[in-house]
Amino acid sequence: MYRSQKLALKYLTAAITLFGIMTVAGLMSAYYYINPDFLFGILHFNIAKILHIDTMIIWLLMGFMGAIYWFLPEEFGRELVGIKLAEILFYVFFGAVVVVAVVFIVVQYGNSDETALWFINQGRKYVEAPRWAAIGVVVVMAVFAYNVIGTAYVTGKVSGITAVLMVDLVPLLVLYLDAFPAISNMSADLFWWWWLVHLWVEATWEVLIGCIMAWSLMQLLGTSRRIVETWLYIEVALVLGTGILGLGHHYFWIGAPSYWLTIGGLFSAFEPLPLLGMVVHAVYDAGTHHMKTTNRPAFYWLMAEAFGNFLGGGVWGFMMTLPQVNLYAHGTQWTVSHGHFAFWGAYACGVLSVIYLVIQKLRSLTQVDGALWKWSFAALNLGLVGMVGALLVSGFAQAFIERAIGGSTHDAFIAGQSSPWFVEGMVTRFIFGLMFAAGYVALVWDLLTIGKRAPVLATAGAAE
Ligand code: HEM
Ligand code: HEM
Ligand SMILES: [Fe+2]
């Protein structure tokens, strides 16, 4: 095994660990909606939510890095050029995450001054980490990009997938720099902040997961490189063609010029197209190979990624992307419904698929299957879809009662929040959240024991 692949194992383990912390923080955040007195005066909703969404970004990023560090040396046929540095930085990265989490929990907030920005919280949703840690993330990502681009340069072997990946890493990193400026004008601040959030999840991350899924499809189903690369080019062209100006769907009500209503509505309405393309691609590949695979969990998670990306990102996003609808849906639990479905479908499922592929290689399993992965697959996906459904009901209640009927007054806000539809949605979400958490436990159990458990799953080593 290459050193880079050993590093990948560390990243994937860290990712799964943070996924667990994220789930606990999610359950806590959800519980405040049922019992607002929960941990009163000790830990408020905002901190739990920050922990929830920041660990989400970090575990997914670590998952992507793990996947790429895993596939890359095989792609190049050699060790990565900056592997030593990357190995050291893994510990720096993980240590920084722990320090930031402790500061969030213990210190929580500071004054609105430079010290707070540097050491406590930058106050920008999803990228709240204080500046010192944000700089650390930039360094880690820069070394990661150097390993990809530098190794390609040294070997001179650039495949279609690595070419797309290299080009993608540049904007991905540059957009993260957007986490730094503290702009006091809220419209201007949001205007630039969306460059980070929207252009990450609806452009650069989509390209990244496209590359990772291309490698996975080749490994999982034996699809030819020519086919996956052709699809990748089409998908990337469509993602960027629709997603870049689709940014406008966040500029409707923040004080940006009104031409964004048309631009954002139009381009983002086309955003589901590449996501539909990805579903067609995955189903086509599975069909031509008669769904023959030695790794069913990886295959199912890959299919969940394709469908989840399309449904959660494409369909749920489309539902609220036209300004005529977004006027009512904006910033309600409807948004939260879409956010969960999309991040889960587009990114989390993809990372889980790669993890099963890695485990197969790691433990030299000729066949990866069993009952436990099915339980975790079912509980995680049903739990997630249940939460998404409940959130949608709560979100609709807000859109109707608070916005359409009540005209967005403060009283209407309270009426929306206290409507039985809203309240029951919040309770239902929590129950499905528990199911999701049970699925997480089953997942970890399965990952730790698969291939070591049943004699049916004879490993090549054991057979010898
Ligand atoms: C046990 C499972 C989970 C529970 C109970 C949960 C609960 C929550 C809660 C209560 C919030 C705050 C929403 C608000 O401000 O009203 C939230 C936000 C969020 N969660 Fe989760 N979550 C869970 C799993 C996940 C997963 C698996 C993902 C994605 C992979 C995710 C992604 C997000 C995102 C992106 C937000 C921010 C949404 C927004 O503010 O619009 N969550 N979650
Ligand atoms: C798979 C990729 C996607 C992910 C991970 C994602 C995630 C999210 C998240 C987390 C938010 C809430 C942001 C916040 O306020 O904190 C959001 C908002 C939004 N997304 Fe997506 N999204 C994706 C794709 C799409 C697509 C393809 C569309 C349109 C077709 C779309 C339309 C929207 C709109 C209109 C909003 C603003 C909602 C509001 O006004 O409150 N998204 N998205
Ligand atoms: Fe967006």
The residue extents of the domains of the chain are: 1-158
Chain-wide mean pLDDT for the chain?
Answer: 94
Ligand nearest to the CA of 322: 2
pLDDT at position 131 over 70: yes
Supply φ then ψ for residue 364, to 5 degrees: 45, 55
Residue in 49, 201, 208 to alter for ligand 2 test, most ligand atoms within 8 A of Cβ: 201
Spacing, Cα 315 to ligand 1 middle (Å): 18
Spacing, Cα 100 to ligand 2 middle (Å): 26
Tell me which residue has its CA closest to atom 23 in ligand 2: 313
Tell me which residue has its CA closest to atom 10 in ligand 2: 339
- Residues of the chain with pLDDT > 70: what percent? 98
Bridge partners (DSSP) of residue 295 are: 368
Residue in 336, 387, 432 to alter for ligand 1 test, most ligand atoms within 8 A of Cβ: 336
* Least confident stretch, 176-180, 260-264, 398-402: 176-180
Predicted model pTM: 0.96
Spacing, Cα 340 to ligand 3 middle (Å): 13
pLDDT at position 455 over 70: no
Q: Which atom of ligand 2 is nearest to the CA of 272?
A: 27
Residue in 28, 51, 340 to alter for ligand 1 test, most ligand atoms within 8 A of Cβ: 340
82 Cβ inside 6 Å of ligand 1: no
Ligand nearest to the CA of 48: 1
Q: Specify the higher pLDDT residue, 286 or 463.
A: 286
The predicted model gives 68-78 an average pLDDT of 95
> What digits encode the pLDDT tens for the residues 184-237?
999 999 999 999 999 999 999 999 999 999 999 999 998 899 999 999 999 999
436 Cβ inside 6 Å of ligand 1: yes
Question: What is the pLDDT confidence band of residue 458, given thresholds at 50, 70 and 90?
Answer: very low
Supply φ then ψ for residue 369, to 5 degrees: -160, -160
DSSP string of 100-160, one letter each residue: HHHHHHHT----SSHHHHHHT----TT--S-HHHHHHHHHHHHHHHHHHHHHHHHH----H
The predicted model gives 44-64 an average pLDDT of 97
pLDDT at position 291 over 90: no
- Is the distance from CB of 196 to CB of 134 less than 8 angstroms? no
pLDDT at position 152 over 70: yes
Question: What is the pLDDT confidence band of residue 462, given thresholds at 50, 70 and 90?
Answer: very low
Residue with tokens 């490993």: 459
Q: Which atom of ligand 2 is nearest to the CA of 202?
A: 2
Amino acid at 331: G
Cα separation, 266 vs 163, in Å, equals 30
Spacing, Cα 343 to ligand 3 middle (Å): 12
Return the ∠ at Cα 307 (arms to 343 and 212), rounded to 5°: 65
Q: Using alpha carbons, select from 250, 249, 244, 314 the residue that is nearest to residue 279.
A: 314
> What digits encode the pLDDT tens for the residues 17-31?
999 999 999 999 999
Helix intervals (H) in 312-371: 316-319, 323-329, 333-343, 349-362
pLDDT at position 125 over 80: yes
Spacing, Cα 317 to ligand 2 middle (Å): 6
Tell me which residue has its CA closest to atom 32 in ligand 1: 340
60 Cβ inside 6 Å of ligand 1: no
Spacing, Cα 119 to ligand 3 middle (Å): 29
Cα separation, 302 vs 351, in Å, equals 9
Question: What is the pLDDT confidence band of residue 319, given thresholds at 50, 70 and 90?
Answer: very high
Spacing, Cα 259 to ligand 3 middle (Å): 17
Q: Which atom of ligand 2 is nearest to the CA of 332?
A: 41
Which residues' Cβ are closer than 6 Å to ligand 2? 125, 201-202, 249-250, 268, 271-272, 309, 313-314, 317-318, 320-321, 326, 330-331, 335, 338-339, 342-343, 346
- Residues of the chain with pLDDT > 90: what percent? 90
Q: What is the pLDDT of residue 290?
A: 82
The predicted model gives 283-302 an average pLDDT of 90
Q: Torsion over CA of 143, 147, 149 and 155, rounded to 10 degrees?
A: 160
Q: What is the pLDDT of residue 285?
A: 87
pLDDT at position 249 over 90: yes
Q: Using alpha carbons, select from 144, 178, 164 the residue that is nearest to residue 208.
A: 164
Spacing, Cα 331 to ligand 2 middle (Å): 10
Tokens of 345: 């479908």
pLDDT at position 106 over 60: yes
Q: What is the pLDDT of residue 193?
A: 96
The predicted model gives 300-304 an average pLDDT of 96
Three-class SS state of 371: coil
Tell me which residue has its CA closest to atom 31 in ligand 2: 317
Question: What is the pLDDT confidence band of residue 460, given thresholds at 50, 70 and 90?
Answer: very low
Q: What is the pLDDT of residue 463?
A: 46
340 Cβ inside 6 Å of ligand 1: yes
